[in-house]
Structure 1
Amino acid sequence: MSPFKGQTGLKRIFNAAGYSLDGLRAAFKGEAAFRQLVLLNVLLIPTAFWLPVSRAERAIMIVVCLLGLIVELFNSAVEAAIDRISLERHPLSKNAKDMGSAAQLVALTMVALVWSVILL
């Protein structure tokens, strides 16, 4: 059993936050797609504050942008786990990686649709 499983309270929260920051650092350092999405968010989120839209519309525009980052983190995690298991080509590994990529495509399509519907 992991020595971290028995931890409770603030120590557990601080440890979890540290692991989360480690994950963000790893994604930023090792995943070009994540860095590209961070750049996209750095451009789009301030733009959402500049545009003459309602607070609800602005919130939706920002949430869909952040959703793209979340999906990319999951996609990268799945790819890393599959690569850890084996670098050998296998149809199930391909399917899993392709599904993660498809999830990101859906998320980015949602960003484009939401922003288009609100702005047009």
Structure 2
Amino acid sequence: MSEPTAPFRNDLKGRTGLVRLRNALRYSLGGYRAAWKDEQAFRQIVCLCGPGLILAGLLCRTWAEGILLILPLALAVVVELCNSAIENVVDRISPDWHPLAKKAKDMGSAAQLTAQLLIALVWGSYLLVRICA
């Protein structure tokens, strides 16, 4: 008896190995290009985090301190990519106002605010300790 096939298999996901990795990289780079081109908030986050990376390299005394300062910056970029993706999907489904669409967009915005607060907390506490020590 043959094994049953999955009824909802996506044939576009049939790639494996290096072909899959190459395609994933190409799609990811396309996502970065689209976010840079179309999302002002993404450009702002990247432009603010870029100098933060340099400053982290100048301020940190150890590898762990550097990672501590860089991780919240990277998280803010990741959260903004997710927030932009949510907004695009919601807008694609319908341009009309709907309470669930507003809720989804507001939650994405709240995620970004949380990431920004994390940057302020980590960097603020790090600089306070460095100044007072």
TM-score computed with the length of structure 2 as normaliser: 0.87
The higher-RCO structure (CA 8 Å, 6+ apart) is 1
Q: CA deviation at 1:4?
A: 2.9
Inter-partner Cα distance in structure 1 for 2:50 and 2:97: 36
Computed over aligned residues only, the root mean square deviation of the Cα atoms, in angstroms, reads 1.1
In the alignment, what sits opposite 2:90?
Answer: 82
Query: Are positions 1:13 and 2:21 aligned together?
Result: yes
Q: Which amino acid aligns with 1:70?
A: V
Query: Are positions 1:103 and 2:111 aligned together?
Result: yes
**Cα pair 2:75 2:115 within 8 Å, conserved:** yes
Inter-partner Cα distance in structure 1 for 2:92 and 2:74: 27
Inter-partner Cα distance in structure 2 for 1:2 and 1:52: 47
Stretches of structure 1 that go unaligned for 5 or more consecutive residues are none
In the alignment, what sits opposite 2:53?
Answer: 45
Inter-partner Cα distance in structure 2 for 1:52 and 1:105: 25
Stretches of structure 2 that go unaligned for 5 or more consecutive residues are 1-8, 129-133
Q: CA deviation at 1:58?
A: 1.1
Identity of aligned residues (%): 51
Q: Kindly provide the CA deviation profile for residues 23-42 of structure 1, in whole angstroms up to 9, marking residues without a partner as x.
A: 00000000000000110111
Runs of 4+ in 1 over 4 A off after TM superposition: none
Task: Give 1 or 2 for the bigger CA radius of gyration.
Answer: 2
Q: Kindly provide the CA deviation profile for residues 52-107 of structure 1, in whole angstroms up to 9, marking residues without a partner as x.
A: 43321110110110000000000000000000000000000000000000000000
In the alignment, what sits opposite 2:4?
Answer: none
Inter-partner Cα distance in structure 2 for 1:3 and 1:28: 30
